[in-house]
Amino acid sequence: MGDGGVVEKWMKKGIDGFRLDVADELSDDFLKTLNKKLKSINPDGIVYGEVWEDASNKIAYDNRKKYFLGNELDSVMNYPLREAVIDYVKYGNCGMLYDTCKMLYSHYPKHNADLLMNLLGTHDTERILTVLGGESSDGLSNKELSTKKMSAAERKRAVGLLKLAYTIIATVPGVPCIYYGDEAGMEGYRDPFNRLPFPWGKENNELLEFYRNIGKIRSQETIFKNGFFEIIECNSELLAFARYNETGFVVTVINRGKEKYHLDSNVDLKSYDSGRAIKVFAPNSSYVLKGNGAFSNAKIGFYK
- Across the chain, the runs of DSSP E, i.e. the strands, are 17-20, 46-49, 59-60, 63-64, 75-76, 117-119, 175-177, 228-234, 238-244, 249-255, 261-265, 269-271, 280-281, 285-291, 300-303
Q: Is the pLDDT of residue 106 over 80?
A: yes
pTM over 0.85: yes
Residue 78 three-state SS: coil
pLDDT tens per residue, range 31-68: 999 999 999 999 999 999 999 999 999 999 899 999 99
pLDDT tens per residue, range 261-297: 999 999 999 999 899 999 999 999 999 999 989 999 9
Q: Is the pLDDT of residue 70 over 80?
A: no
Domain range list for the chain: 6-220, 223-303
6-220: which CATH topology?
TIM Barrel (3.20.20)
pLDDT tens per residue, range 194-222: 999 999 999 999 999 999 999 999 999 99
Catalytic choice (16, 21, 99, 206)? 21
Return the pLDDT at 166: 98
Q: How far apart are CA 239 and CA 235, in angstroms?
A: 6
223-303: which CATH topology?
Immunoglobulin-like (2.60.40)
Residue type, 15: I
Return the pLDDT at 89: 98
197: buried, middle or exposed (CB in 10 Å: 19+, 13-18, 0-12)? exposed
Q: Mean pLDDT throughout 114-136?
A: 97
Phi, then psi, of 46 in degrees rounded to 5: -140, 145
Mean pLDDT of the chain: 96
Residues 6+ apart with CB under 8 A from 69: none
pLDDT tens per residue, range 133-163: 999 999 999 999 999 999 999 999 999 999 9
Q: Is the pLDDT of residue 246 over 80?
A: yes
Please confirm, yes or no, whether 237 is among the known catalytic residues.
no
Please confirm, yes or no, whether 83 is among the known catalytic residues.
no
**How many other CB atoms are there within 10 angstroms of residue 38's CB atom?**
23
Q: Residues 56, 253, 269, CA angle at the centre, nearest 5°? A: 120
Helices 152-171, 205-220: axis angle to 10 degrees equals 10
Express as a percent the part of the chain with pLDDT over 90.
Answer: 97
Q: Do domains 6-220 and 223-303 have the same CATH topology?
A: no
Catalytic choice (28, 29, 50, 206)? 50
